[in-house]
Every structure is written in structure tokens, then in C-alpha cells.
A and B are shown apart, each in its own frame.
Chain A
Amino acid sequence: MCGIVGLFAKSPEIEADLGRHLAAMLVQMSSRGPDSAGVAVYRNPVPSGSSKLTLYSSDSTERWGAVRDGLCDAFGTCAEPAVRASHAVFVVDADASDAERWVRVSRPDLRVMSAGQVIEIYKEVGLPEKFVKAFALEDLQGTHALGHTRMATESRVTTEGSHPFSTGFDLCLVHNGSLSNHNRLRESLRREGIEFQTENDTEVAAGYLAWRLREGASLEQALDGCLEDLDGFYTFAVGTADGFAVLRDPIACKPAVLAETDEWVAMSSEWRSIAVLPGAAEAEAWEPEPGVVYAWEKALV
């Protein structure tokens, strides 16, 4: 099962209220995924040379100040982290790979949920409604976002196994379906230097995109490659720093609906999530064709 949603703002009004709209969409997908929920929100880009990390701690009494002090010692200045429930977002005066490496070496007990210049990922076990409240999702503004509600099938219900998955800077993928060749593909991607944190099939799809993008493919080319190299059922929604894309496998068993107005582009597993958006009744709505890449890009300010 699982529910996926995506929202891409085309107006400043939607950007200002992105979190509230995303939360409403996510809650509508509770019946498709009551086990865990997660979002990737693209917001507040940091200047070049800096990077943004979303870190997760399983310790509810985590002293995030100590993490900040460590980052300051390593890289100079580091602003106060923005803490949301079990997650904290740090802006570090270093590039993302150095900052991420520091966390892996110095604080292996923490998990890097996302790294880049724009992306923030939050995810947690439990009902979407509880997740929305715990992470004050409605306060967030941003340019675009993806969300996932999980009904776990192939791995345990944990925060780590929740979606979205990010295996490349500012890259995120949410998935409804299941992949059958993920074990072998994971091994070949590891040989290419792509790192994986779980045994989850979706993380492999995210890793595949990260690898293709690293090798110079455009987002559309990388997604076209999925049609050749991934075996299984999938509807994907993909986010990059400035883009948003949707792809269904050629058999297209997994549902998807797209809708667009002058204000926004939205995708969801079901219309219910889109019906809660302003102007939905007048939106142009369609079912994405199997094996066709749909992509939107945003000019970064």
C-alpha cells in the first residue's frame, strides 16, 4: 500500500503555506500508510560554501548544543540548530560531504536524514496526524515538498525504515510499490561508491538516481534509466533542489494522480489528498501515463 504526495508551489502564497497544505495532504493518506510518515521539504537555501544537515537522534533528551559545539570546532561558525521533535537542522560552514563525514565519524549514534543546501527531511513512526503535530509541520514554508505514509511490508517499522530516502545531496525519493532487483542493484551501486544505510528497496532507487545524476544525467534522463534498470512496481515522486518529478512503471499497477493550477502542481496516490488544496475543484487533473516522466523545475532565487 503506502501513500505518496508531492506539492510544488507556483505562487508565493502557496510557498508561505506549504507546510499546512502538505500536512493536510499527508493526513488524507493515513489509511494507505498508518505505520509511519515522513516529508522532504525544500526551503531556505543556504549560501554556496555552506550546507544544511537534518540529523535524527533516537535519544529524546539529545543535547543538540553539544553537536553544534562539535561542528563549530570542526568548521568554524555554526548557527543554533532548528529542533523539531527527534530531528534537528544544522547550517554548517562547510560543504555537505565534509559536514556529513564529520557526523558519521564523530557522532555515529546520530543519523543523517538529509544533506544538501535546500532539503530538510523529517520522518517518524506513528500516524501521520501525530507526526504532523509533533514536527509542527504546518509552520513550514518552502518551494516544494514530498511526503510519504507507510504501510510496512518488506522491513520493520522504524524511523530509519520510514520514507523519504535521500542518498544524494538535496535528492529525495518517495515510492509506492516494491522493487524486485534491489539486492543486486545495491551491490553494483556500492561498487560505484553510493552508500546505503538500510536494506530497504526504495533506498536503492534513490541511490540509483544519485548515481545517474552524479554521472551527469539530467533528472529526466536518470528517471528514464529507471525504466531500463529497475524491476518491480513503482510510482515515484522525486525532489531535487529545484525540481519535482513523477514516474510510474510501465505496468502502472500503483496509483497516481496529478493536478495543476496556476498556483501549484500536486501529485498523490489518490485524489483525496489533492481535494484539500485551494482551487482543487477547478484544477486540471489527470492520471500520469505509464513509463512517462513528468517533471517541473523551479528557478532558484
Chain B
Amino acid sequence: MAAVAERAQAAVEVVDLATTPLRELNQRLHDLAGGAPGPRHWRIVNPSGAHAVACGLDAEIEVEIDGHVGYYCAGMNKLATVRVHGNASTGIAENMMSGRVEVDGNVSQSAGATGRGGLLVVRGNASSRCGISMKGIDIVVGGSVGHMSAFMAQTGCLVVCGDAGEALGDSIYEARLYVRGSVASLGADCVEKELRDEHVAQLRGLLAAAGVDADPADFRRYGSARQLYTFKVDNAAAY
């Protein structure tokens, strides 16, 4: 019996969103939370831009999605690995807690927004507000990111192998930004910082984890100058 159960776990569960309601798919994925028995490998076909595909997962499973997805795919992800073989719209991996989300194509705005942990890998470009208010997530973008990326970023790393758009890192806190290409402009209180050995080591680890072939020495580091109101000790009494 154990062998049968093992085989069932190794088999790939295919779900066709052209015929299966999205809520049914997401419910089946949610039912695996807390290590409950069930398929560990899933393949979702015909997403056709649907929103909230594979949202709110809380299990060590692998989900492959063949095609483009809509808003908030893999949002709030915990433990799971979700791979999108296509493009993703607004808010991919929004508020991710842990696990890994990978997108082969491009992603729209607010990728990885407010993410608290885990790794988001975008092979193509990310548009505006990538990593907005990130709180511990690591984001590696193979291409470029749009304007206002890492706005109010708190912790975690944003790695950009291409270029960054205007106002990078505006009002940033402790997050680390690594950009290989050009930066159109830096946002308020965001400055270039020295790339020390510890940063090169961190960057090497992130690039390796993302499976991106790039030399850490080619990147420049940006972070907070800590000059805005919130950083002034004189203002602490206001709270």
C-alpha cells in the first residue's frame, strides 16, 4: 500500500482550467495545507489570464502553470514552488511568505509586493513598482524593472540584471538593491553604496539560487541614506 501511495504522490496531477472552475483548483491545493495527503506535483493548463491562480498555497508542493496568468498568481505563497511558463499580470507572488515563485516571461506591476520571505525569480522584465514595500522577500529579475521599483522597501534583496526605471528605491528602509545595468533615477533617500565582499557573497548566492548566470562584480548596490523623517531620532518622541 505504501508503494501505491508513493506512486500517487510522484504522479503529476493535471488540471485544465478550460474545464475546471478556478475555485475548485484552488480549494484542492488549499486542502494540502499542513502536510495533508495528496498529489505533490501539479500541472495547470489553459490558465488564459485567469486571476488568483494557485493563490494562498501552504504546502511543500510543486505547481507548474503552462500559459499566461492574470492578477495575484501565487499570492501569499507559503512553502510551495510555483512556476509560470508564460507571463504574469499584476501582483505575482504578492505577500509571499516563503517558498519559490518563478516566471519564464515578463511580469506586470507590483511583482512581489509586500513579500515577507521566499524567492521570486522573473526571467524576463518586470514593470513598475516591482518589490514595492517588500518586507523580506528576495526578488531576482533577469531583465529590467520599471519605475518606482522597491518603493518603501523594508528588508530583503531586489536583484536586477538589466536596467531600473525612474525613482528606484524611493523612501527605502533596509532592503538591498543590486542593479547590473543603468538606473534611470534614484528615488528620495536612495543612494549608491559600496559593494563590499559580504554583498558580493550574498549576490552570488541569490544569482545561483535563481539559476541566473551573471558575475556579481558587475552589479552596483543601492540602499537607504537614512535621511528621511522616520530615521531622525528627534522624531521618535512623536510616536
Residues of A within 8 A of B (CB): 252, 255, 257, 270-276, 281, 285-287, 289-290
Contacts and interface: CB of A to CB of B under 8 A. Distances in A.
Interface in B69-106: 70-71, 87, 89-90, 106
A252 B109 contact: yes
Report whether over half of chain B's contact residues are helix, strand or loop; otherwise say mixed: loop
B70 A272 contact: yes
B225 interface: no
A281 B47 CA distance: 11
A275 B106 contact: no
Best-surrounded residue of B49, B67, B70, B128 (most CB of chain A within 10 A): B49
B108 interface: yes
Interface string B109-127: 1000000000000000001
B213 to A, nearest CB: 24
A246 to B, nearest CB: 15
Nearest to B105: A285
A257 B48 CA distance: 13
A255 B90 contact: yes
B70 A270 contact: yes
A61 B80 CA distance: 60
A227 B48 CA distance: 32
Among A271, A273, A287, the one with the most B-chain Cβ atoms within 10 Å of its Cβ is: A271
B50 interface: yes
Contact of A275 (B49, B90, B128, B146): B49
B127 A272 contact: no
Contacts of B89: 255, 257, 270-271
Contacts, number: 42
A252 B146 CA distance: 10
A285 B108 contact: no
Interface in B131-187: 146-147
A255 B50 CA distance: 15
B220 interface: no
A286 B50 contact: no
Nearest to B69: A271
B68 interface: yes
Contact size range, B: 10 to 19
A80 to B, nearest CB: 41
Contacts of B87: 271, 285
Contacts of A275: 48-49, 68
Contacts of B48: 271-272, 275-276
11 contacts: A252-B128, A252-B146, A255-B109, A257-B89, A257-B108, A270-B49, A270-B71, A271-B49, A285-B68, A287-B127, A290-B147
Contacts of B90: 255
A274 B49 contact: yes
A252 B71 CA distance: 16
Contacts of A273: 49
A26 to B, nearest CB: 15
A290 B128 contact: yes
B58 to A, nearest CB: 27
A272 B51 CA distance: 9
Q: Which of A255, A281, A287 has the most CB of B within 10 A?
A: A287
Nearest to B124: A286
Interface string B38-75: 00000000001110000000000000000110110000
A270 B48 CA distance: 10
B49 A255 contact: no
Given A255-B90, A272-B49, A275-B48, 12 more contacts: A252-B109, A255-B108, A257-B108, A270-B71, A271-B68, A271-B87, A275-B49, A285-B68, A285-B87, A286-B106, A287-B106, A290-B147
Contacts of B49: 270-275
Most chain A beta carbons < 10 A, residue from B68, B106, B146:
B68
A287 B126 CA distance: 10
A146 to B, nearest CB: 19
Sort A-B residue pairs by CB-CB distance and give the 9 closest, nearest first: A271-B49, A275-B48, A272-B49, A275-B49, A271-B68, A287-B127, A287-B108, A252-B128, A270-B49
Nearest to A288: B127
B141 to A, nearest CB: 14
A255 B108 CA distance: 9
Nearest to A31: B51
A275 B89 CA distance: 13
